[in-house]
A and B are shown apart, each in its own frame.
Chain A
């Protein structure tokens, strides 16, 4: 089983729509969770950390389900600039530990 598993997509979504991505992780001891975005041939950029209680940052909402080892990202009112690959990322501990990346889900927002 992959350590972090994501649907690779692509997701082609009209501008203004809501889109949701899911991710599962295999290590039940994982403690830190993140969503990064990566534009083509660029570095991963931190989008948001994911907290146990769920968290929201503008149009973005992240949820964590530890029992199911499942992380989600919801993007509301999608914009053309949201087109990117979204990377689900976990690490084993809270501290300064290696990040384990999923392969990413590719999103294209269509005008």
Chain B
């Protein structure tokens, strides 16, 4: 069964450093998403991406964040200057083009900012 993959599984970084989280969506999916989940809290939407541009972004997704599809398979989330409060699980998801909006999630990257 096709699945979304993410690397790394765990990233530890110092405050102020840049991090890039990587995702490989399901191959025939056209919509890509990033969500985050702070420990003990709910899953929160960050950004959606379609046709090489951002479709929608949340208030959380400020100028420190950017997304890119550098090639035909990868989808990346970059945080330019990490803060302590960026520590969370970051989930990538993808969905087919269509009405169902069923989104399938990757296993996540645990980001720890020290």
Q: Which residues of A contact B (CB under 8 A)?
A: 32, 34, 38, 41-46, 49, 87, 91, 93-104
Contacts and interface: CB of A to CB of B under 8 A. Distances in A.
**Chain A contact surface mostly:** loop
Query: Which of A32, A41, A43, A44 has the largest count of B CB atoms less than 10 A from its CB?
Result: A43
A103 B42 contact: yes
B33 A98 contact: yes
A97 B49 CA distance: 10
B42 A102 contact: yes
Contact of B101 (A42, A94, A104): A94
Nearest to B30: A96
A97 B47 CA distance: 10
A108 B83 CA distance: 35
Contact of B48 (A32, A42, A46, A96): A96
B102 interface: yes
A99 B107 contact: no
A102 B43 CA distance: 8
Interface in B18-53: 30-31, 33, 35, 41-45, 48, 50
Given A43-B91, A43-B108, A99 B42 contact: no
B46 to A, nearest CB: 9
Contacts of A100: 45
Nearest to A33: B101
A98 B45 contact: yes
A56 to B, nearest CB: 17
